[in-house]
Amino acid sequence: MAPQFALGTFSKAGNQPFPAVVKDQQVIPLQAFSGLLGAGSILSLLENWEANFAALSAQINTVATPAFSLSSLKIHPPVNLPRQVFCSGANYKKHVIDLIVDEGGGPASENMTTDERRAWATKMMDDRAANGFPYMFSKPVSVVTGAFDNIVLPPHAKAPDWELELGVVIGRKARHVTRADAMKYIAGYSIVNDITNRDHVFRRDAVKAMGSDWVAAKGSPTYLPFGPYLVPAAFVPNPQDLQLTLKLNGEIKQDESTADMIFDIARQIEYLSSLVELWPGDVICTGSPAGNGTHYKRFLQEGDVVESTITGLGIQRNVCVKELP
């Protein structure tokens, strides 16, 4: 395996952000490497990801340039402005089962005991995994913010909730990709937190029957902390065996493995690419495990500190603040 490194976007003392490689807590600007096809941003680097990854791997231990200490820099989202952001809803088995047990599964389960409802929900999720397909939707790119930036809570949000997720970053154009080939289209992985206004998921007016209103629920600025880094897929041997852990004010709320996904990453890419064309730099949020605020009946408030980790991908730390008028 090539020497391990990560990619990111950084700035120093208020200067313009620059793309760089991170290795051993040192940040090396992309411009220090020779032979790259597009070194102006991480997005442009991903346009020719296969060749650029090979060039970075060949030079990472020999590149001669002054490096910045990671602690001296501001960390921006690794892909500062993705072209597209997609999300996978209700994609962790235990999470969906908990939702059904907590909120009821409709008339079919209203007379069941808790244990009966859990068994019924488990069978339903097994059937969905075997015979169903992912539930995918898009999120505005304007929500993207850094791994250490504030989460800004808008005045209309009465129940803002956390959703720690594994983020997949695409490295090649993808259209009608098979599940067998899907993982070849991934450049790398990162941490994302799909913040959601639970009180705005469903419309409360005459068009409620139209279903979920994801712009109102998930479209507020800063509602997708992303990063700190993009870790190349070559350095993540099994993305279906990573631990996701989220703490709220130091208390663990989410702690689950990506093995609990109903539809794995390859299936999500296969399905999504059958509907849309995926481009380099696109982000796929692959679903959130059990332990959201809805389960605890506790939502984000001003002053809350959200810390998120995924095995080998770093850490996020976001403070919740109120949006100023």
- Shared-domain flag, residues 151 and 58: no
pLDDT of 208 strictly over 70: no
Residue 48 within any structural domain of the chain = yes
- Shared-domain flag, residues 173 and 271: yes
What total of structural domains would you count in the chain?
A: 2
- Shared-domain flag, residues 283 and 142: yes
Helix, strand or coil for residue 138? Answer: strand
Residues 289, 270 contacting (CB under 8 angstroms): no
Looking only at Cα atoms, what is the longest distance across the chain? 70
Residue 105 within any structural domain of the chain = no
- Shared-domain flag, residues 65 and 139: no
Residue 292 within any structural domain of the chain = yes
Helix, strand or coil for residue 318? Answer: strand
Residue 101 within any structural domain of the chain = no
Sheet harboring 314-322: ordered strands across? 151-153, 314-322, 305-310, 243-248, 251-257
93-103 and 114-131 helices, crossing angle to 10°: 140
Q: How far, in Å, CA of 101 to CA of 97, rounded?
A: 6
- Shared-domain flag, residues 183 and 303: yes
- Shared-domain flag, residues 51 and 182: no
Nearest 5°: phi and psi at 240? Answer: -90, 20
pLDDT of 150 strictly over 70: yes
Residue 28 within any structural domain of the chain = yes
pLDDT band at 93 (very low <50, low <70, confident <90, very high): very high
In total, the chain counts a number of residues equal to 325
- Shared-domain flag, residues 35 and 167: no
Q: How many CB atoms lie within 10 A of CB 186?
A: 23
pLDDT per residue over 35-86, tens digit each? Answer: 999 999 999 999 999 999 999 999 999 998 878 999 999 999 999 999 999 9
Q: Give this prediction's pTM.
A: 0.95
- Shared-domain flag, residues 181 and 280: yes
Q: Which domain holds residue 69?
A: 6-76
Residue 11 pairs with which residues in a beta bridge?
A: 74
Residue 125 within any structural domain of the chain = no
Pick from 30, 47, 76: which residue ends a domain? Answer: 76
pLDDT of 240 strictly over 60: yes
- Shared-domain flag, residues 207 and 306: yes
- Shared-domain flag, residues 144 and 266: yes
The domain that holds 261 is classified in CATH as 3.90.850.10
